[in-house]
């Protein structure tokens, strides 16, 4: 018997976030083995900012910190030009809640008609608090025209922390593979550009390596990370290899900007951004977040693919320790994908609606 309901903060924010998060909520509630949930609606987003002048109300932060066990974030409409007084609520939430790791798995069955003929199973561990995303930019008028500058911050402490998170995720994957009888070796690839950015990327690279090397030294060569392979790849050649040889990558750890780019690009390997999940993870809190954006062109048309949000909900449950319902949701989504009969228009030949996909996932859960 469950002692109490899990309180999950639900932040749909902008655009299709308001359409896909309710689907994820209903799927979570229907998953076999799931605890009872209490869903707490919370405001945030660019559209809220346009109405109230506030993108992330303090009540949302306080409720998440003091009353919620976990959270789901939908999508945010971030303008491509500077809007005075506005900053991204998801970036601020990551900082306020200490969510220093953005974990983005790209995996799933080979879909009918896909140009990729081998199963893809890559998880990107993206540092979530630094790099260019600290958003310290200036614009200066000079005799030769405007000059824009952006500060990029890479710290030893944040790089060490994300390196440890990546190695721990790799350990968990290694244990799952061993339990399934697989002899596949688990590899962690450090993604960087230290051949050019020798100070910033150099610090990131050496900080992650130091976590691995220190563990070996402290335990006489037989530490926690024994059996893991540590590799590295320059970000530009990684993009090339990822599309040519996706099977050579396993766990990838990267600074914020590179992690954002390569994980979005990796979505093409499985068919659509509408399939790719993520969680923002700290040491005490987990927030699920589909990788796709707010998609204003299809908002309100019942066309959005809810699978990324559903998978993000499962990923949140997995990282909170609720493995049984998480696995049931993963299997249900994979079943619907392989069947190929409930594909939204972001997938080749898809004509299904958001509602169709939800119904198919719920049926697959019932049959599991």
pLDDT tens, 292-337?
999 999 999 999 999 999 999 999 999 999 999 999 999 999 999 9
Distance (Å, rounded) from C-alpha 323 to C-alpha 334?
A: 16
Distance (Å, rounded) from C-alpha 363 to C-alpha 85?
A: 45
- Are the beta carbons of 145 and 160 closer than 8 angstroms? no
Say whether pLDDT at 259 is over 80.
yes
Distance (Å, rounded) from C-alpha 185 to C-alpha 289?
A: 29
pLDDT tens, 65-98?
999 999 999 999 888 778 888 988 998 999 999 9
Which conformational region is residue 98 in: left (phi greater than 0), alpha (psi within -120 to 50 degrees), or beta? left
- DSSP 3-state assignment of 278? coil
Q: Which domains does the chain have, with CATH numbers?
A: 1-105+293-367 (3.40.718.10), 117-268 (3.40.718.10)
Q: Which residue has the higher pLDDT, 268 or 54?
A: 54
- Tell which residue, 124, 118, 92, 122, has the closest CA to residue 107: 122
- The confidence score (pLDDT) of residue 2 equals 66
Question: DSSP string covering 286-354, please?
Answer: EEE--SS---TTTTTTT----HHHHHHHHHHHHHTT-HHHHHHHHHHHHHHHHH-SS--TTSTT----H
Query: In whole numbers, what is the pLDDT of the chain averaged over residues?
Result: 92
206 Cβ contact list (under 8 Å, min separation 6)? none
Pairing state between β 251-254 and 120-127 = parallel
Mean pLDDT (whole number) for 175-193: 89
- The confidence score (pLDDT) of residue 64 equals 97
pLDDT bucket at 219, cuts 50 / 70 / 90: low
Say whether pLDDT at 154 is over 70.
yes
- Tell which residue, 1, 28, 255, has the closest CA to residue 131: 255
Distance (Å, rounded) from C-alpha 327 to C-alpha 312?
A: 12
């Amino acid at each position: 018997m469950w002692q109490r309901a899990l309180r999950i903060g639900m932040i749909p924010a902008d655009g299709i976030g308001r359409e896909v998060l309710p689907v994820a909520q209903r799927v979570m509630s229907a998953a076999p083995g799931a605890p009872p949930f209490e869903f707490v609606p919370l405001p945030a987003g660019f559209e809220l900012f346009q109405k109230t002048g506030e993108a992330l109300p303090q009540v949302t932060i306080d409720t998440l910190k003091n009353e919620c066990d976990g959270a789901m974030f939908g999508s945010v409409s971030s303008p491509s030009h500077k809007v005075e007084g506005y900053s991204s609520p998801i970036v601020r939430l990551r900082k306020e809640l200490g969510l220093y790791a953005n974990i983005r798995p790209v995996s799933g069955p080979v879909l009918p008609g896909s140009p990729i003929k081998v199963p893809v199973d890559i998880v990107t561990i993206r540092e979530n608090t630094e790099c260019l995303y600290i958003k310290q930019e200036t614009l200066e008028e000079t005799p030769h025209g405007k000059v824009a500058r952006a500060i990029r911050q890479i710290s030893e402490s944040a790089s060490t922390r994300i390196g440890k998170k990546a190695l721990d995720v790799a350990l968990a994957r290694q244990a799952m593979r061993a339990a399934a009888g697989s002899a596949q070796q688990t590899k962690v690839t450090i993604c960087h550009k230290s051949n050019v950015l020798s100070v910033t990327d150099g610090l990131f690279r050496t900080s992650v390596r130091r976590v691995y090397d220190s563990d070996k030294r402290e335990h006489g060569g037989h530490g926690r990370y024994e059996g893991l392979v540590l590799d590295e790849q320059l970000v530009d050649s990684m993009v090339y290899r990822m599309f040519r040889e996706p099977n050579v990558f396993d766990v990838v750890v990267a600074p914020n900007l590179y992690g954002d780019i390569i994980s979005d690009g990796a979505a093409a390997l499985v068919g659509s951004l509408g399939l790719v999940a993520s969680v923002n993870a700290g040491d005490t809190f987990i927030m699920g977040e589909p990788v796709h954006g707010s998609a204003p062109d299809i908002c309100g048309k019942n066309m959005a693919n809810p699978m990324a949000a559903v998978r993000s909900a499962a990923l949140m449950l997995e990282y909170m320790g609720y493995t049984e319902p998480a696995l049931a949701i993963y299997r249900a989504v994979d079943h619907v994908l392989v069947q190929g009969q409930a594909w939204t228009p972001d997938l080749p030949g898809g004509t299904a609606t958001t509602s169709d996909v939800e119904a198919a996932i719920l049926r697959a859960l019932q049959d599991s």
